[in-house]
Structure 1
Amino acid sequence: MLDDKRVRADTPGIGPGPGTGLVFLDSAGSSLSPRIVTDTVVDHLRREAEVGGYRAANERLDDLAAVKTAIGTLINAAPASIALSDSATRSWADFFYSVPLSPGDRVLISGADYASNAIAALQRAEATGATVQQIPSDGTGQIDLEALAAMMDERVKLVSVLHVPTNGGLVNPAAEATRIAHSVGALVLLDACQSAGQLPIDVVELDVDALSVTGRKWLRGPRGTGFLYLRPELAASMVPERLDLHSAQWVAPDKYTLAADASRFEFWECDVAARLGLGAAVRYLLDLGPDDVYTAIAARAEYLRKSLQRIARVTVRDLGIQHNGIVSFTVDGVESIDIRDRLAAQDITVSVSHASSTLLDMTARGLASVVRASPHCFVGFEELDRFVAAVAAL
């Protein structure tokens, strides 16, 4: 069972006791880091100021390597199959732009796919002559597996699966979608930006070809961090669109050799302090017990859903069969931004998801925006009650 007192004590951004201070409900945006993460980042920045960035980094080479080891433990992957990056978007794009596409090839995207993914797919389609098609959603809002199966043929080169949408609480059947895509040899790129850190992720069970993750959300790492997982054979064979002297080695005037593993998707220059902070965040999650954290998040989100559903003029907008830690809702007659700002004036932090972020899904549902509340394990139920009361008072 999760040690609630420890988690609260380790999170300086919230009050010392339940019901006091900030009510933070935006871990789907950028969560509150535990103290060990902040200390790790700041300590390294201070060391850089003392001895310079190169020496400071060389002192932490083993610790930097341990970041991938910790991530590998979390997602059941070999460290060599992980490339560190500055965001989930960077990770997703680095893989996607390296997938060969030709005229007539097809790329399938989820109905709730994120704008950055869709824009990249459309841009490459324009450049290569490929086409981008939407995977329909079923009556529950998740990926329609039967429709996906009917869309598959040898021209489908990549299927983009959104594990958890940015604008709501459903969980897509990623493993099932992957099996369908693999039946015709298509690659599967899983966007786990909103799932890593709040849901179990086992890349062997999911069987995806690549997975993109950010550090700043449910993992509670620093901004400017993320990682890309690649299936081991792809990590050793796929050719990235861009290279430098870290991802490849210049071995002769007219020759270079690629790194032998997923580090071919990394550049030499990076924010060392932030990456050490990411490693601290993942190790902190592992130390707490991931399953205990996931259970705590799910319990808080479900408590919010049921509480909000009892308030007149409030509509919970979450779809799907399996839910996650994001709770989306609207209030009749009150704009989502106004709700966010009025709650912020009461020291309650939520965020707004606009239609431009998930255009296909939000347009189909006739929604311009939704309020997004995403409680992590450090949020107490007294604070959830305070939030619910504030929404009711709107």
Structure 2
Amino acid sequence: MIIEKHEDPYFKSCSRHSHIRKNWLGSIVFPFSALLQQSEFSDQTDVLERALIFNKTCKAMFPNRRITTTVFNGEGLQILVTRYIKALNPPQQFLDMFLHDSNATLDLIARFVSLIPIVPDILDENDGFDIWMTSERCISLAIGNKEEHAILLCNFFLYFGKKALVLLGTSMLEGQVAYVLTQETDEYLLWNPLTGQCHKQFDPFCPLQSVDCLFDDGNVWFNIEQNNTPMAVHFDYSKESFWKQLLPKNFQGTKAHTIQPEEIIYCETNKSMIEDLKNRIERTLKCKMMEWRPKQPTRWNRQCTYILRKILPKLELGTGSFVSSEEESEFERLLQFYWVTGFPIQMPYTDLQSIIDAVYQTGIHSSEFPQTEFALAVYIHPYPNNILSVWVYLASLARHQ
């Protein structure tokens, strides 16, 4: 607003001053990211419509098979699942651990992903209304659903130049699942991101029951074979007689718009916190053991506990002999006087109650042999971003009569 002020009303043309006064009437803010998203949404409208039609067509052909083409991201936008797939870096310490053994590195990475606690996806039955986090968010929160685990593992494998896709299907043990499919030289491998286990396609012990859908960074394929068990499936998704694809081969524009970051930044886990947590778990479990045996004394065998504490770190790394010659001789001395029954429990850390429940369900505390002694050891192996692998080794020792 410009205001003119005159020194003399009769000599208006001789002396004049202008003053600018600002009056706030309100404001409207347009975030630049929002403008980009609106433009992006407009560009993808035809793709989303195609995805909706594709879903209906596939469901009409095989109503019981899973098909997911679009989900909602953390900002509430509906996007193609292909935009979650991008090569991402695993923690650097994993790359340095097995410099000359790529298979061991892949196994370690699969184990790392399996240690991220799982959150149940209550919207699994309503495909198309799921909300998926980015891999970076999954790592920073140290939690994820089945699909987010599979996407993270797939992205790690892509970092190594592997041919990897996310597979949606069902398992006889877990119901609806998301696996990672990798194509090797002469075979296909099926990776369970929740357990870290890898199965060959024709492995009879693979719990995967059906193969319904595949997707990578460029397309989604729906299995239209009559028999969709893993052993019967032809994983050559270029064959239109076996797989129905969402986007035509000449379609452009999906690979460039990933929602994943350029790289993942990891933070180191506080080791002093790990030691405090380990001691707390051990104290709590010992107290619980005594609570669960109110009519019987609970005695602790220090020698056996000492041996178990040495074994647990080796179980996590899975390298070399689990028991040294010294530990083996100490065990042999114990066996001269005791019947020893025990086993290790391994689980991702979520909370203390989950560990208590797992130990209680073993029933090892209910031993009624007279003069029974117990041994308990706890070990926590830290991974980046406070992702923890918890080991509890519990043993009961009954004296020979």
TM-score, normalised to structure 1, is 0.25
| Bigger helix fraction | 1
| Bigger strand fraction | 2
Compare relative contact order (CA 8 Å, sep 6+) and give the higher one, 1 or 2: 1
